[in-house]
Every structure is written in structure tokens, then in C-alpha cells.
């Protein structure tokens, strides 16, 4: 639910509640005033009755056109209390039950006490209540209509700069050199928001450029000496006159340098992924890329006596070409490096789904740690523990899913594009 709708709904509920309570209060307050006025009228009629009895020594007779209804009941020597209040009585004039204001008071006449009752019909209460309900319902409907119109036109117009700014932020990409153009607005809160967003994006751009520069420098400055060391060690191993001991030490150093180089490449790759240097996407033919990658690994699989079975069907995906190459390379390397002697690899590419299964360890991998940084199935593993983590990061960045399954010594990784 949008904030405008929430605001309008809350505002409407509060206003309707307040109006209903006010209407009820007005009705009760008006009713009390009417009762007091009628009580005062009956008190005036009481004085007239007393004066009439004193003057004429007789009770006044009812007149068919009078609103008041009189009754005189002897109570003997018992004097009643003066009581007034509302009650329902049969109206002779309207020939139906009606609300009356009634007053009972004692009167001494011919050495006896009498209970004199004066009842006066309450006129207009039903009409007043009906009018009040009509006005309340009409006002509530008017409030709802005004609220809807405000939400649709005025409030939407007031919030237009906010949505325009959010649209600008949605299209913002790191690496762009142009400054963001936020809409002009006279609302102070939106102006402050735009200034804050502009400051934050400019700071993010600067940090991105610094990190990108560091990544490029690190990639060049670290990889170059590592390549030189590997080349020198390779020449040293092949040099004649080198002792067996020296050759073994050189091979160990060469292996460590090679491992360090892979680790450096993996960390630099993660840095590039995290700063989103692979934003450009294309429609890629997964069948062609899978067959190309299989051809690159074929010699390695043959040398390790790994049996390959594949079923490659046409499939396409919208993804960054470089990330797709790294994804396939890491999946195939993982299936190769964690295989067993004379093992197998099965590759199945269906529509928008790639499954790579391989023989391997007789126990499943830990799914809770599988795609975490530096996870290794065993301490003795030569892996740097970043291959599957990179696969997961590529999947997140490319909006694809990757999962793991284990069944009877067969490890499977499924990528759904």
C-alpha cells in the first residue's frame, strides 16, 4: 500500500470517527437542553395550576386543543414527592405512543393531598435525530469524496518530485561520469533529500573510482612480478646442472607461486564483481559457450582419465559475457579438481538450466557453508576456497540461481538461468 493511500485512509478514519462522536455528543447535548427547556415550561404550567386552584377552588379542565395533558389523583393524607422526567405515553391527539415530558407534584385541595400530573409531548426529537443522521452520513460521504480527490490529484502532485527523484536513483549506475539531475522542487524536505542523495552518489562515485583504480593497479602490479617469478622458476627447473634437491625446491616454490597467482586473480575478480564492473549484459547462446568451455577442458579430462557424458540443448540467457565465462570455468574446474581417479562428469544443458554432476567424495558437502568465502571440503584441499563463492556472487549479480545436490556419491551443481 502506498504511503499516500495509507495517509488518506488513516486521515479518513480519524475524521469520520471524530465526526460521528461529535454528532452523538451534539445529539445528547441538544436533548439535555430541550429537556431542561421543557422542564422549565412544565414548572410554569405548575404555577398556573396552583394559581387556578387557589383562585377558583377547582381543578382546571382539559381543553382538547391544549398540548398538556392533566390528571388529578387523590392520595389522601400522603404527600408525594415532586418528580419530573421522560416517558412514553399514548397521545390522544396523534392516536399513537409518543415521548412526553412528565411532571408529578403534590397539591393540597379540600383537606386532601392530590398527585397532579402534567405531561407535554416532546416535539421534533424524531425529526431532529433523522436530520442529524442524514447530515452526518452526507458529511461522511463528502469527506470520503474530498479525501479521494485529494489523494488522486493534490497529494499525488505534491509527491511527484519524490517519485521523480527515486526514478533518477533507480537509473543510477556506478562508473557514470555525468552528475545526477534531480527535479527542482519548492518543498524543503524534498530539496534536502535531493541534496543528500546527490552527496551520497558523488561520494559513491569517488569511492568506486578509487577502488577501480586500486583493482587495476593491483591486478597489474601484483600479477606481473608473479609471472616473472614463475617464468624464472620454470627456467631454473629446466636448467642443466641443477641438483635434485634444488629442482624439488624450485618446483615447490613454483607451485606456491601458482597458487598465490590464482588467489590473487580470485580476489581481484571478487573486487570487480562487488563494484559491479560487469554491468553490461548480452543475450548469450549457452549451448555454444558450454561446448567451447568443454573443448578447453577436454585435454585435462583425458589426462586425468575422467569420462565425460553430455547432453547439450539450445538455451539462451541475458548475462554479462565475461561473467558467464568465469561461471562455466569455475563449475568445470570444481567438477575436475574434486573428482576421483577414473571418475566421470555429466553435463546436461536444458532450456534455461545447466546441471554439472561429478563423482567425488562419498559424503555430501556442507550446504550451510558451501558458497561461503574460503570454504574447503577438507584441510588438505589445494583449492583456495573462493571458486564456489565467486559462482554464488556471479549468480546474485546476474539474477540467476545456483544450488547443490548430493545423491549416492554424485555431486551436482544446478544453475537456473
CATH class of 282-416: alpha beta
Distance, CA of 280 to CA of 270 (rounded, Å) = 17
Helix (H, G, I), strand (E, B) or coil at 295: helix
> CB within 8 A of 352, min separation 6: which ones?
315, 317, 416, 417
pLDDT digits 0-9 by tens, 329-382: 989 998 998 888 889 999 999 988 999 999 988 888 888 888 887 777 765 556
Query: For the chain, what are the domain ranges?
Result: 3-141, 190-274, 282-416
SS3 241: coil
Higher pLDDT, 217 or 294: 294
Contact 262, 282 (CB under 8 A): no
Average pLDDT over residues 385-403: 87
- Report the DSSP beta bridge partners of residue 347: 310, 356
CA distances from 18 to 6, 147, 279 (A): 18, 15, 54
* CA of residue 373 relative to chain centroid, distance: 30
Give pLDDT tens digits for 215-232.
Answer: 667 666 677 777 778 787
Which band of pLDDT confidence, cut at 50, 70 and 90, is reported for residue 55? Answer: confident
Per residue in 28-39, pLDDT (tens digit) is 887 788 778 888
The Cα–Cα gap between 89 and 370 comes to 87
What pLDDT, on the 0 to 100 scale, is given for residue 21? Answer: 83
Choose between 58 and 97: higher pLDDT.
58
Per-residue pLDDT at 63 exceeds 70: no
**Which positions ≥6 away from 318 have C-beta within 8 Å?**
281, 282, 283, 284
* Alpha-carbon gap, residue 141 to 153, rounded angstroms: 18
Considering the segment(s) 190-274 as one domain, its CATH architecture is: Orthogonal Bundle (1.10)
pTM of the shown model: 0.48
- Alpha carbon 23 to its chain centroid, in Å, reads 38
Which pLDDT does position 100 carry in this prediction? 80
pLDDT of residue 65: 47
Amino acid at each position: 500500500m502506498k504511503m499516500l493511500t495509507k495517509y488518506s485512509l488513516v486521515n479518513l478514519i480519524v475524521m469520520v470517527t471524530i465526526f460521528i462522536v461529535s454528532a452523538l455528543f451534539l445529539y445528547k447535548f441538544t436533548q439535555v437542553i430541550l429537556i431542561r427547556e421543557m422542564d422549565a415550561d412544565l414548572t410554569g404550567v405548575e404555577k398556573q395550576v396552583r394559581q387556578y386552584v387557589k383562585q377558583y377552588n377547582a381543578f382546571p379542565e382539559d381543553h382538547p386543543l391544549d398540548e398538556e395533558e392533566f390528571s388529578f389523583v387523590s392520595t389522601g393524607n400522603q404527600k408525594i414527592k415532586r418528580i419530573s422526567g421522560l416517558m412514553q405515553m399514548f397521545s390522544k391527539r396523534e392516536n399513537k405512543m409518543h415521548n412526553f415530558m412528565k411532571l408529578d407534584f403534590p397539591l393540597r385541595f379540600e383537606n386532601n393531598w392530590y398527585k397532579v400530573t402534567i405531561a407535554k409531548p416532546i416535539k421534533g426529537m424524531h425529526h431532529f435525530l433523522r436530520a442529524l443522521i442524514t447530515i452526518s452520513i452526507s458529511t461522511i460521504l463528502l469527506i470520503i469524496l474530498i479525501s479521494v480527490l485529494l489523494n488522486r490529484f493534490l497529494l499525488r502532485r505534491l509527491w511527484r518530485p519524490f517519485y521523480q527523484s527515486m526514478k533518477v536513483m533507480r537509473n543510477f549506475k556506478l562508473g557514470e561520469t555525468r552528475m545526477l539531475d534531480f527535479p527542482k522542487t519548492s518543498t524543503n524536505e524534498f530539496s534536502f533529500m535531493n541534496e543528500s542523495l546527490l552527496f551520497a552518489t558523488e561520494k559513491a562515485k569517488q569511492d568506486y573510482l578509487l577502488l577501480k583504480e586500486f583493482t587495476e593497479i593491483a591486478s597489474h602490479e601484483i600479477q606481473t612480478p608473479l609471472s616473472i617469478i614463475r617464468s624464472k622458476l620454470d627456467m631454473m627447473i629446466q636448467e642443466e646442472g641443477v641438483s635434485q634437491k634444488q629442482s624439488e625446491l624450485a618446483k615447490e616454490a613454483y607451485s606456491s607461486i601458482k597458487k598465490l597467482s590464482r588467489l590473487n586473480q580470485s580476489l581481484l575478480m571478487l573486487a570487480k564483481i562487488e563494484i559491479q564492473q560487469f554491468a553490461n549484459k548480452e543475450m548469450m547462446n549457452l549451448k555454444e559457450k558450454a561446448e567451447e568451455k568443454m573443448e578447453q577442458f577436454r585435454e585435462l579430462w583425458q589426462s586425468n582419465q575422467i569420462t565425460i557424458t553430455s547432453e547439450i540443448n539450445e538455451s539462451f540467457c541475458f548475462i554479462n559475457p565475461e561473467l558467464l565465462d568465469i561461471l562455466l570455468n569455475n563449475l568445470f574446474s570444481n567438477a575436475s579438481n574434486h573428482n576421483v581417479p577414473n571418475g566421470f562428469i555429466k553435463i546436461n544443458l536444458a532450456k534455461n538450466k545447466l546441471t554439472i554432476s561429478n563423482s567425488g567424495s562419498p559424503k555430501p558437502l556442507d550446504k550451510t557453508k558451501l558458497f561461503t568465502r574460503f570454504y574447503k571440503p577438507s584441510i588438505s584441499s589445494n583449492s583456495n576456497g573462493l571458486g564456489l563463492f565467486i559462482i554464488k556472487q556471479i549468480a546474485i549479480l546476474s539474477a540467476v540461481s545456483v544450488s547443490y545436490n548430493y545423491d549416492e556419491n554424485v555431486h551436482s551443481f544446478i544453475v537456473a538461468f
